[in-house]
Structure 1
Amino acid sequence: MTEMWEVVSRLLTDSRYLVLATADRQGRPWATPVFFAARDEDRLVWVSAPDSRHSRNLAERPDVAITVFDSHAPIGGAEALYLEAAAGPADDFVEALTMLNARLPADKELSGDDLAPSGPLLAYSADVRRHFILIRGGDPRFDNVTDARTRVTRPSRKAPQ
């Protein structure tokens, strides 16, 4: 299980973009890529315009699905992380900016002036409820012919003895 959890950590660390899937009040889906930063495996942040379709959807329905993957992986070598989360405006925009700026080049860093109410963007966060990883078809650890997903959980830490 530890090996599988390491995929979660690695993909969140190595990837720059996630695909955010939202739905509006009527259930019409929308997916969009966003640049993100991860505080840990359970909290992700990004900035978006509050009037963008996915941001409006979040205001109506905070439940989201998120996918993180390396789009440059060779065919047959893909790894993917699937997340179920609740998302909305970040409670701590300073923390969100700090996390995002740590991943941005110096000339692209964000400031408080970029955020509402004076700026065009709002900081958002997703609190992850469940983690799943891709199990490629034919994986010898599983009895699967086609690609599948399996839920993974953080390994428990053993108490010191």
Structure 2
Amino acid sequence: MVAFEDVARTVLDENRYVVLGTADAGGKPWVSPVFYTLSGYRELIWMSSPEALHSRNLAERADVSLVVFDSRVTPGDGMAVYMCGVAAEVTGEAVAAVAAAYGDAALPRGGRRVRIEEVTGDGIYRMYRATVREHWILDPDSRPDGRAVVTL
């Protein structure tokens, strides 16, 4: 029997995009796929324009929901990892380290290195980080809502 934690790690390790759910100050929701890398299983990192709606929403409200899944599988065969947490733009001295870690992790997944001038000053992108409070996967045997919380 495969442990739920192993399923969650595999899904997070083998996929490239997270669907990021944000909301504006008034609560209007927005979802957006973003290419991500992991810093452990409790942090997801991505690079986005600060003008993107999800980035503007994060400036107003840090709470996020996230889901990673493989959309290429046959319906009924897929697994997903659902998450909730908080996210924000990475600022200050942490930007260089986060950008380097993102680039190192992105290369083997089809991404690229980030030049620091792209994500600071007049650069058109910024680095963002989500800190995950809870992970779960769907399990029809879990009651009452079908969610099985996993600890990563």
Q: Same fold (TM over 0.5)?
A: yes
TM (norm. structure 2) is 0.87
The corresponding residue for 2:146 is: 148
Q: CA offsets per residue over residues 94-139 of structure 1, 9 Å max, x none?
A: 232223212237884221011131210010001100011122x5xx
After TM superposition, the runs of 4+ consecutive aligned structure 1 residues lying more than 4 A away are none
SS across alignment from 1:8: helix
Counterpart check, 1:101 vs 2:103: yes
Residue 115 of structure 2 aligns with an amino acid whose one-letter code is S
Residue 53 of structure 1 aligns with an amino acid whose one-letter code is L
Map residues 24-35 of structure 1 onto 2, 5 A cutoff: 24-35=24-35
Residue 138 of structure 2 aligns with an amino acid whose one-letter code is L
The corresponding residue for 1:82 is: 82
The corresponding residue for 2:39 is: 39
Give how far 1:90 is off: 2.0
Note if contact 2:100-2:113 (Cα within 8 Å) is conserved in structure 1. Answer: no
Bigger radius of gyration among the two: 1
State the alpha-carbon separation in 2 of the partners of residues 21 and 120 from structure 1: 22
Aligned residues: 147
Structural RMSD (CA): 2.3
The corresponding residue for 1:117 is: 121
Unaligned runs of 5+ in 1: 155-161
Q: CA offsets per residue over residues 4-36 of structure 1, 9 Å max, x none?
A: 111222122111110000000110000000000
Map residues 1-40 of structure 1 onto 2, 5 A cutoff: 3-40=3-40
Counterpart check, 1:129 vs 2:133: yes
State the alpha-carbon separation in 2 of the partners of residues 112 and 38 from structure 1: 19
Unaligned runs of 5+ in 2: none
